[in-house]
A and B are shown apart, each in its own frame.
Chain A
Amino acid sequence: MKSQKFWAWLVFGLGAAYFIVPLLATFEFSLRMRRGEYSFDAYASVFADPKFAASFSYSVIVGLFTIVVGMFVVVPAVYFVRLRMPWLRPFMEFVTLLPLVIPALVLVYGYIRLYGSSSLIPFTGSILGTDILLTCAYVTLAMPYMYRAVDNGMRTIDIGTLTEAAQIMGASQMRIITSIILPNILVAILSGAFLTFAIVIGEFTIASLLNRPAFGPYLVGIGTNRAYEPAALAIISFIITWGAMGMINVLGRFAPRTYARTD
């Protein structure tokens, strides 16, 4: 019993070290901007850069739009596939995995050919158009996570019977989605939203090739020009991503409970 625990802890410790040591080293390095002593100068320098705030808030806004657009696409799609076309599910699983298989680079070159300024639908001809295109690209990138989060959420409730119960009381399809389905999968939606957010904040390829001032390209730019700030930025983005993940966990506790007491 005791030795079993020892080995378990050893494996756990090694695994944890694999992830934590580089992180600690990065953190330690980010504190060494001032010679001879530890300081948060690198962080101060990052926060003092107006481009940090600008690119970060740009990415946050794009992230929020991505979440909203993604929800409008994914929630009704998952709902109707589960309810009326369950034979389509394997196909949906496959399609929503494609963004993980196709490199973002290929995706963005395809976009530029299709929506370039000399094409029939010149999205990239204006800044707003490019922002819209970027958002759409992010919706695609986040699709695998969003789809699975929402699909899992709908698995935990009996959407078929709940839909019928609402229908027989006179509810329209729209009302069923907004007042029955959405509130019951809200936690799943939020966890999908935070994952999406974490992806959008760090994304480089698409934002860079579409030449938009997002946080990802900013991180890379700093990385090539400065010594200590990139380490500080890495720590900051870790904290942001972990914050998002932590929120998923916290919200999970508020998931609706559907089972009856057994007494």
Chain B
Amino acid sequence: MAAFLEVQNLVKSFGTNTVVKGVNFAFDKGEFISLLGPSGCGKTTILRMIAGFERPTSGAIRVDGDDITTLKPNERKLGMVFQAYALFPNMTVGDNIGFGLKIAGMGPEERRARVEEMLKLIGLPGFEKRYPYEMSGGQQQRVALARAIAPKPRLLLLDEPLSALDAKIRVSLREEIRAIQRDLGITTVFVTHDQEEAMSISDRIVVMNAGNIDQIGAPRDIYNRPATRFVASFVGHLNTLPETAFGPNRAIRPELFSLTPRPDTDTTLSGTVSDVGFLGSVVRLRIDVNGTPISIDTFNGNATAPPQRGDTVTLHLASKDVLTLGA
């Protein structure tokens, strides 16, 4: 099967500053793709080039075989959700969702039915007559999602849609977005700087660093087999192991240590607990191993109390879990 969304040698420069440095990727229909990276890595610029708001300096973008590189945004048949909701304040929720349908020339009856169907899909039935300012941020963003998918776009673009919301709504809305996306089978590109968000929602993640792609892969691959030092440190926590015992550039995830031996562990380290952070389900210990700070995550348990500051502990790890970091 040919790729549905294809980006080839995409470059974008603003003056002498090149923010996207020759990026390639290809994804299948129905995939949920995240562009993940710190701010300024070029992920938003790529999304804006796919949307047509920025013209690439060179390279090509193809959707379903059509070259859309030079099309205007209003000719691309895409849907987009913005960080700032961007609902039209002068229109009701119904008119907002129906806006794209109206432009596409859909009749009023059909439009009303589609708007109703969309409102049911996002869990806000009966909200047609409300105005955006009468709704909470989470509700507004759900309406923005409905507005984006109502005209059945070829591609759904999400530009940090959860960043303006508070933590609880952020989690519930991302699950909702994923469920709707799966139901409709709509190919989606999601831009975020939040690695947890990207891992929880995506089929595949594109990790970006300073205008280049460092790694493309499923969340599990990115986390367990990071291709570069940048990916390893940006996605999840990482402990650099002492060079004397393990050699240079060796690291391990905090949850792969345990305080008691497991069948697969073959190596031990000992150190003193310097800090205990209780995060609820997880207890994060900071341990000083001969001057090397190591943090380890253990699950909270009712039966056993976590070690105290100053305790000496033995850490068990499996050498197969140790990552070798490249450049």
Contact = CB atoms under 8 A, between A and B. Distances in A.
B73 A261 contact: no
A95 to B, nearest CB: 27
Interface residues of B, number: 36
A167 to B, nearest CB: 4
Nearest to A185: B90
Given A258-B133, A260-B140, A167 B73 contact: yes
A260 B53 CA distance: 26
A256 to B, nearest CB: 4
A14 to B, nearest CB: 41
A37 interface: no
A28 interface: no
A166 B100 CA distance: 8
A161 interface: yes
Given A158-B86, A161-B84, A162-B88, A169 B99 contact: yes
A261 B51 contact: no
B43 interface: no
Contact of B85 (A157, A172, A260): A260
B147 A261 contact: no
Contacts of B88: 162, 165-166, 180, 184
Categorize the interface residue count of chain A: 20 to 34
Contacts of B157: 168
A257 B104 contact: no
Contact of B80 (A165, A171, A257, A261): A165
B74 interface: yes
A29 to B, nearest CB: 48
B76 interface: yes
Contacts, number: 88
Given A170-B104, A257-B89, A164 B74 contact: no
Given A158-B84, A161-B84, A263 B136 contact: yes
A246 interface: no
Interface string B73-94: 1111111101011111110000
Contacts of B140: 260
A88 B14 CA distance: 19
A82 to B, nearest CB: 16
B289 to A, nearest CB: 46
Interface string A151-192: 000000110011011111111100100001001100000000
Given A169-B100, A257-B131, A260-B132, 7 more contacts: A158-B84, A164-B73, A166-B99, A169-B79, A169-B103, A170-B100, A260-B85
24 contacts: A161-B86, A162-B86, A164-B73, A165-B86, A165-B147, A166-B88, A167-B74, A168-B76, A168-B157, A169-B100, A169-B148, A169-B151, A170-B100, A170-B151, A171-B99, A183-B90, A257-B89, A257-B133, A259-B133, A260-B132, A260-B135, A261-B133, A261-B134, A262-B137
